[in-house]
Structure 1
Amino acid sequence: MTTDSKWNDLATRMGSGGIMVAVGILGIWIGGHVFHVLISAVCGAMIWELVRMLQPGQPRLAMRLGIASAVALLIASYLPLGVALPLILAPAFVGIGQMTKRRTRFTTYATATLLAGLGMIALRDDFGVGWMVWLVLVVVVTDVAGYFAGRLIGGPKFWPAVSPKKTWSGTVAGWVGAAAVGLYYATYMGGGVNVIGISIALSMASQLGDIAESAMKRQAGVKDSSALIPGHGGVLDRFDGMLGASLMLLIVEALVDFPPVTA
Structure 2
Amino acid sequence: MTSAGSQWADLGPRIASAVVMVAVGLLGIWLGGLVFGALVALSIGLIGWELARMMAPGRDVVAVGIGIAMGAGVLLAGFMPLPMALLTMFFITMLGAGGLGPEPDRIRFLVYGFYIMIAGYTLTGAREEAGLVAILWLVALVVATDVAGYFAGRIIGGPKFWPAVSPKKTWSGTVAGWIAAALVGLAFAAHLPGMTLVLAMLLSVALSFASQMGDAAESALKRRTGVKDSSNLIPGHGGLFDRFDALLGAAFTLFVAHQLGFFGG
TM-score range, shorter chain: over 0.9
Tell me by how many angstroms 1:130 deviates. Answer: 0.2
TM-score, structure 2 normalization:
0.94
Stretch of structure 1 that moved more, 31-40 or 182-191: 182-191
Give the structure 1 partner of residue 220 of structure 2: 215
Paired residue type of 1:98: G
User: Which of the numbers 229, 248, 251 marks the counterpart of 1:246?
Assistant: 251
User: Which of the numbers 169, 172, 176 marks the counterpart of 1:173?
Assistant: 176
TM-score, structure 1 normalization:
0.95
Give the structure 2 partner of residue 29 of structure 1: 30
Tell me by how many angstroms 1:189 deviates. Answer: 4.9
Give the structure 2 partner of residue 4 of structure 1: 5
User: Which of the numbers 170, 195, 199 marks the counterpart of 1:194?
Assistant: 199
In the alignment, structure 2 segments of 5+ residues that lack a partner are none
Give the structure 2 partner of residue 98 of structure 1: 99
Give the Cα separation in 2 of the matches to 1:206 and 1:35. Answer: 21
Residues 137-166 of structure 1: CA distance to partner in whole angstroms, max 9, x if unpaired?
111110111111111111111122221211
Give the structure 1 partner of residue 154 of structure 2: 151
Residues 172-230 of structure 1: CA distance to partner in whole angstroms, max 9, x if unpaired?
11000000001112256563120100000000001011101101100111111111124
Give the Cα separation in 2 of the matches to 1:203 and 1:232. Answer: 23
Give 3-state SS (helix, strand or coil) of 1:154's partner. Answer: coil
Paired residue type of 2:176: A
Does residue 206 of the first structure (1) align with residue 221 of the second (2)? Answer: no
User: Which of the numbers 113, 123, 126 marks the counterpart of 2:129?
Assistant: 126
Query: Is the CA contact (8 Å cut-off) linking 1:156 and 1:167 kept in structure 2?
Result: yes
Structure 1 consecutive aligned stretches of length 4 or more whose deviation exceeds 6 Å? none
Tell me by how many angstroms 1:113 deviates. Answer: 0.6
Q: 1:172 to 1:231 in 2, by over 3 A?
A: farther
Give the Cα separation in 1 of the matches to 2:180 and 2:236. Answer: 23
Give the structure 2 partner of residue 73 of structure 1: 74
Give 3-state SS (helix, strand or coil) of 1:233's partner. Answer: coil
Paired residue type of 2:21: M
Tell me by how many angstroms 1:231 deviates. Answer: 5.1
Give the structure 1 partner of residue 145 of structure 2: 142
Give the Cα separation in 2 of the matches to 1:45 and 1:100. Answer: 20
Give the Cα separation in 1 of the matches to 2:14 and 2:98. Answer: 38
Residues 86-120 of structure 1: CA distance to partner in whole angstroms, max 9, x if unpaired?
22112212123211220000000000111111111
In the alignment, structure 1 segments of 5+ residues that lack a partner are none
Tell me by how many angstroms 1:72 deviates. Answer: 1.3
Aligned residues: 260
Query: Is the CA contact (8 Å cut-off) linking 2:139 and 2:247 kept in structure 1?
Result: yes
Give 3-state SS (helix, strand or coil) of 1:45's partner. Answer: helix
Kindly indicate whether structure 1 or structure 2 has the higher relative contact order, using CA contacts under 8 Å at least 6 residues apart.
1
User: Which of the numbers 212, 225, 247 marks the counterpart of 2:230?
Assistant: 225
Identity, in percent, stands at: 50
Give the structure 2 partner of residue 42 of structure 1: 43
Give the structure 1 partner of residue 117 of structure 2: 114
Give the Cα separation in 2 of the matches to 1:76 and 1:254. Answer: 17
User: Which of the numbers 201, 225, 239 marks the counterpart of 1:234?
Assistant: 239
Q: 1:34 to 1:97 in 2, by over 3 A?
A: same
RMSD: 1.4
